[in-house]
Amino acid sequence: MPGYGWPAMPMAPANGMGVTGLVLGIIATVGFCLWPLAIVLGILAVIFGAVGRGKARRGEATNGGQALAGIICGAVGIVLAVVLLVIILVMPDEETDSRSLEPPGRTTTTAAQPG
């Protein structure tokens, strides 16, 4: 008899990096209105997604699609956060319109000419 018991179990795939990239990318995309956090999470999603794609190419992981989705969602989160930042910086404040350039206490009224 050759051997007893069950054959050895194969190694489980290391899918953690791809899943982490996907989760961070989704959070960055959905939470882009918190632009500083979205930029950081988007960068991390792209990094984890790239590492996860590398593992999937080498056969160490089975979730290459999730890792790619993490890269895409992370990039979209970064772009949305940067666009929101640019909009915030470009939009004028309420104090900078033409009426606020006048000295305080003065009003612009036309005086009637005596007649």
Residue 99 has pLDDT above 60, yes or no: no
Nearest to 49 by CA among 80, 11, 15, 86: 15
Residue % of the chain over a pLDDT of 70: 78
pTM score: 0.73
Residue % of the chain over a pLDDT of 90: 65
CA distance 109 to 91: 29
Burial class of residue 32 (count of CB atoms within 10 Å of its CB; 0-12, 13-18, 19+): buried
CA distance 70 to 54: 13
Q: What is the pLDDT of residue 39?
A: 96
Q: What is the pLDDT of residues 2-40, one digit of tens each?
A: 667 777 788 888 899 999 999 999 999 999 999 999 999
Q: What is the pLDDT of residue 49?
A: 97
